[in-house]
Chains A and B, each alone.
Chain A
Amino acid sequence: MLEVCNISKRFGGLLALSDITFGVGSGEIVSLIGPNGAGKTTCLNLITGFFKPSAGTVRYRNDDITGRAPYAIAQTGLIRTFQKTNVLKGLTVFGNVLAARHRHGETSLLRTLFPGQAQRSRERQLRDDAASIIEKVGLLDRMNAEADSLSCGELRLLELAVALGAGPQLLMLDEPAAGLNTEEAHQLGAVLKTLIGSGVESILLVEHNMALVMEVSHRIVVLNFGRKIAEGAPDEIRSNVGVIEAYLGTPAS
């Protein structure tokens, strides 16, 4: 579904990513892991158009989306979240998810100014959909709370709800488990697994939480210093020497 081919990114003199190639298939959860500074978020930014690659291509459903504007890429079904939780702070939880579902609402200016029955029923559907998404992530009791009054964990759920609201086919999550304890991370993993097949086709996960990664991933891609050093099923990666060295360093000899 998603093919990343030989992408590189150079920031001035720094080569942040070098010749990265991997793919995400339909129905898969793929995790992108690696020590801090390995280039995982940069990779995500390149795929979703927030940065332009210095070299290489990104293909989504056989369509070359390299260097397209972020909003256009999002409209094809590639929805991402951010490492530092980003939501629409001045709105309520409900308002956030409503905004996310904008493509299912009224998009014509004329009908906006003179709404008819069709627009009204569309709006009602929008609100129902938003409410059910909020329920699915478990924020129903905070539905009318202001986004800036939510706790850290709740904000993460809201971010997920917003991403889901946008109707993703390929959902890309940047460290969704950051700041969650073991129990919460486990719950998140369960939610992610139920997403596949109920609207979301695939998930690309950038994560540090190894328990979560091992639990949910079909495949894992490992980056270090901007290069791909391994790719495979969780069991293979768990015992891969190169990966262990990348995280823990080589023993002093």
Chain B
Amino acid sequence: MIFERNCLLVALVIALLAPLLLPNQYAMHIGVLIMFSVMLATSFNLIVGYVGEFPLGHTAFLGVGAYTAALLSTRLAMPYHVAELAAPLAAALFGLVIGAITLQLRGPFFVIVTLCFAEVLRLIANNWIGLTNGPMGISGIEKPSWAIAGDALQQKVSYYYVGLLLAAISLFVSYRFVYSNIGRTAIAVRENRFVAQSIGISPFHLGLLTFVLAAGIAGLAGGFYANYVSFVGPEVFGFSFMISMIIMVLAGGKGTLVGPVIGAILVVLLEEYLRDFKELRFSIFGLIVMAVVLFLPRGIMGFITRRHETYVRGATRDA
């Protein structure tokens, strides 16, 4: 707990100073993507690591958040901060409904049915032209005043700091959740469902709470994305974001808070490095997923945490 908190604080300090160290547009753009990815990964990690199920349809909440923000900005001319507040609420609502249905199932059935929900949403986004403009998507989302003030670099820096704020909020909420009494019960369910039930924990209700929280964070990310990119189309429900989330959480380390952050940085950098080679990139991602499952199932952070624990235990034993 202390170890993770310190790692996160160090990361925060570095992140705050980054624009001073790398004052160029491209680096700031990467920074924005990293902040966005950290939110997504943290959200996905809450379900994978703390409910213990694999929601292959998690992009549903990213998409709901993005479309909510986009629609509020364009159709109702709402300012950004309202849209950015509504996005996670809408996503959390969807999370409540979808979670109430899907959390009655386990294992591969949970995986498939969440995927079905995401697909239904994608089909709706694609076909309900009146609402979503179909495959053409919603474009021309108006940027708030702070995002158009100053030169191109300052605009990027503004987005970077807003993204950092949102990512920090996401991590703060997750941290408070995980290292709390409620978090302990969620971990208990993940570790041993039967024991958890026998001491009065309802796996369903706890799973639903975590699910809604995760959906909200994904929605937050979606709203931010919609405004930064200024365009939202049905592909926001698609598999490309899903693959990124899977890698970020698996390779970074599921069930830890720092893991998704590491995973997010790795994946964004890898995606940028291989930006021109989309198929090759995903091909490599596929290999990485398999390799992580076979050889590093706890991810990078899980590996580091284990070593750290062994080291601490060894040190106290010898002391």
A79 at the interface (CB under 8 A from B): yes
Q: In the complex, A222 Cα to B82 Cα: how many Å?
A: 67
Shortest CB-to-CB span from A73 to chain B, Å, is 9
Is A109 an interface residue when CB atoms closer than 8 A count as contact? yes
Contacts of A82 in B (CB 8 A): 194-195, 198
Partner of B203, one of A71, A88, A95: A71
**Which residue from chain B places its CB closest to the CB of A165 in the assembled complex?**
B199
List A contacts of B183 (CB < 8 A): 112
A98 touches B198 (CB 8 A): no
Question: Residue on A with the closest CB to B197?
Answer: A70
Whether A103 and B177, one on each chain, are in contact in the complex, defined by CB atoms closer than 8 angstroms, is no
* Residues 169-196 of chain B, each 1 if its beta carbon lies under 8 Å from chain A, else 0: 0000100110011111101100110111
| Contact (A70, B198) CB under 8 Å given A87-B192, A90-B191, A102-B185 | yes
Number of interface residues of A (CB under 8 A): 38
Shortest distance from the beta carbon of A11 to any chain B beta carbon, whole Å: 18
Number of A-B contacts (CB under 8 A): 96
Residues of chain B within 8 A of A105, CB atoms compared: 180-181, 184
By a CB distance below 8 angstroms, the chain A residues around B191 are 88-91
User: Which residues of the partner chain A approach B200 to less than 8 Å between Cβ atoms?
Assistant: 71, 74-75, 79, 102-103, 166
> A52 in the interface, Cβ–Cβ < 8 Å?
no
B60 on interface, CB distance cutoff 8 Å: no
Interface residue? A69 (CB, 8 A): yes
> Within the complex, what minimum Cβ distance (angstroms) separates A30 from chain B?
19
Nearest CB on B from A66, distance (A): 17
Contact A86 B181 (CB under 8 A): no
The answer to whether A99 and B199 touch across the interface, beta carbons within 8 angstroms, is yes
In the complex the two chains form, is B199's CB within 8 Å of A100's CB?
yes
A217 CB-CB contact with B under 8 Å: no
Contacts of B185 in A (CB 8 A): 99, 102
Partner of B176, one of A70, A71, A95, A113: A113
A79→B198 CA distance, assembly (Å): 6
Given contacts A99-B187, A115-B176, contact A74 B181 (CB under 8 A): no
Distance between A37 CB and nearest chain B CB, rounded to angstroms = 21
* Residues B199 and A86 in contact, CB atoms below 8 Å apart: no
Alpha-carbon distance between A163 and B198 when the two chains are bound, in angstroms: 8
Q: How far is the CB of B152 from chain A (nearest CB, A)?
A: 37
Question: In chain A between 127 and 173, which residues have their CB closer than 8 angstroms to a CB of chain B?
Answer: 162-163, 165-166
Q: B209 near A: Cβ within 8 Å? A: yes
Query: Does B188 lie within 8 Å of A71, measured CB to CB?
Result: no
Contact A102 B181 (CB under 8 A): yes
Q: Complex: how many Å from CA A114 to CA B177?
A: 10
Q: Using CB atoms, name the residue of chain A closest to B201.
A: A71
Query: A123 to B183, alpha carbons, bound, how many Å?
Result: 13
Q: How far is the CB of B194 from chain A (nearest CB, A)?
A: 6
A107 within 8 A of B: yes
Is A80's CB within 8 Å of the partner chain B? Answer: yes
Is B6's CB within 8 Å of the partner chain A?
Answer: no
Contacts of A106 on B, CB cut-off 8 Å?
180-182
Contacts A112-B181, A112-B182, A113-B173: A86 and B194 contacting too (C-beta < 8 A)? yes
Which B residues are CB-close (under 8 A) to A166? 198-200
Closest 9 CB pairs of A and B: A105-B181, A74-B200, A166-B199, A70-B197, A88-B191, A75-B200, A99-B188, A71-B202, A112-B180
